[in-house]
Structure 1
């Protein structure tokens, strides 16, 4: 099992949807947001996963530590699932984020006002 801690918090699904609703002049706002957040993730993942091989399929366990309970849980997790799993592909740790590579995932939520973060466990699934 591999554990990775990502400090801070990321935009939620509501912010991503709003970015997708921008007018034609700002057509790439959501893509810019996604690219920025994936770059931030890769900056954490590259040193954390350096030299580690991930045999797939994998199961991902996400634990979100939010500063408060203001955001809905599905708003917190939906966008992050997308950018994290895409970052695993971009970084070359898995070839794709489809059914063959990702067996499933689960979410857990806690409050930590002083230290918001996301902890992810990557577990190889033996078949």
Structure 2
């Protein structure tokens, strides 16, 4: 089974988050909290009542307004903030490798509607143990 939600806009990247933490730890904490509030609002609106007790594959599809930020800058903070938010909203029990054995992402451009589309695909125990390439073939996503 798949569950999908969309986060409107874009989240802070790793470079911005690192700079905030170097300025003052409270500033970094506030930045993380603000990003998570945005994500949690989206989850509560779009995944109301969803609780997944199986392992999941997470697919992040980032729609950036331009190509200025590099992929690891985009993904690093977003994946951490999203996965923490999924636990805080009780969609997932934990964000350890037992519950999220794999994730992957793509980046596209949409100047007029930047957003992040997040798809959670429930996995069997056997699928959770597969290498990502094998898993994507098994799910027909390649």
Residue 81 of structure 1: aligned partner: 79
- Aligned counterparts of 2:121 and 2:94: Cα–Cα separation in 1: 16
Residue 48 of structure 1: aligned partner: 46
Residue 4 of structure 1: aligned partner: 5
Deviation at 1:55, TM superposition (A): 2.9
- Aligned counterparts of 1:40 and 1:78: Cα–Cα separation in 2: 17
Paired residues in the alignment total 124
Relative contact order (C-alpha < 8 Å, sep 6+): which is higher? Answer: 1
- Name the SS for the 1:102 alignment partner: coil
Alignment of 1:22-101 (within 5 A): 22=23, 26-101=24-99
Normalization by structure 2: what TM-score?
Answer: 0.84
- Aligned counterparts of 1:124 and 1:55: Cα–Cα separation in 2: 9
- Name the SS for the 2:96 alignment partner: coil
Normalization by structure 1: what TM-score?
Answer: 0.94
Gaps of 5+ in 1: none
Gaps of 5+ in 2: 126-142
Check whether the contact 1:103–1:125 (CA below 8 A) recurs between aligned residues.
no
- Aligned counterparts of 1:29 and 1:11: Cα–Cα separation in 2: 13
Runs of 4+ in 1 over 4 A off after TM superposition: none
Report the RMSD for the aligned CA atoms in angstroms: 0.9
Structure whose residues are more often helix by fraction? 2
- Name the SS for the 2:101 alignment partner: strand
Query: In structure 1, which of residues 95, 99, 113 is the aligned counterpart of residue 111 of structure 2?
Result: 113
